[in-house]
Amino acid sequence: MKIKRIDHIAIVVDDIDNALGFWRDALGLNLSHVEDVPDQRSVVAFLPTGASEVELVKPTSRDTGVARFLEKRGPGIHHICFEVEDIEDALASLKADGIRLINETPQIGTGGKKIAFIHPESTHGVLVELYELTGQEPEVRLARARRLADRVLAGGQAMANSALEFLRGLGGNSR
């Protein structure tokens, strides 16, 4: 199996805004966006760090693994996610090595990506997620980037308008 990089580190928090006080404001990471992820019953803040991301995950329901983790252990690192080249191949290889898997076959995660979890019992206490980039996902990312670009452009237009207003005002004063 081939690990390509760490995709993200997920940190469970009980309050996103409060957590951003450290992760964004004090540490200086950029917040790309905060997203409601209904199929995971959580809200996630994404903070890119080069080729990887820090994800702050706040459960929105009490009956998820993340919610139980928070209740039992408090805020902290929930899992580490590696991007692999071929997730089926990775799972087969781990299984052959006697590694305990939570998902023996890949699940379809947010944005259509293929994911699977390895049981902490086999990883020295760390929940490990594997992820394979699928053909579908770049389109989801592209759609998200377009929405963001639209927002930036709309903001830019508003700024250009107010700059024009300002210049018009200056013109008026000089007369």
Residues near Zn ion (CB under 5 A) are 10, 81, 129
Closer residue to Zn ion in complex, CB, 66/94: 66
Closer residue to Zn ion in complex, CB, 10/45: 10
Min CB(64)–Zn ion separation in Å: 13
Q: Which helix (H) or strand (E) holds 88?
A: helix 87-96
Given the DSSP bridges, would you call strands 42-49 and 33-37 parallel, antiparallel or unpaired?
antiparallel
Min CB(168)–Zn ion separation in Å: 51
d(CA 24, CA 106): 32
Closer residue to Zn ion in complex, CB, 83/129: 129
Q: Which residue is nearest to Zn ion (CB)?
A: 81
Torsion of CA 88, 92, 94, 99, to 10 degrees: 110
Q: Mapping DSSP to helix (H, G, I), strand (E, B) and coil, where does residue 56 land?
A: strand
Min CB(170)–Zn ion separation in Å: 52
Closer residue to Zn ion in complex, CB, 11/29: 11
Min CB(79)–Zn ion separation in Å: 6
d(CA 81, CA 31): 19
In the 8-state DSSP scheme, what is residue 138?
H
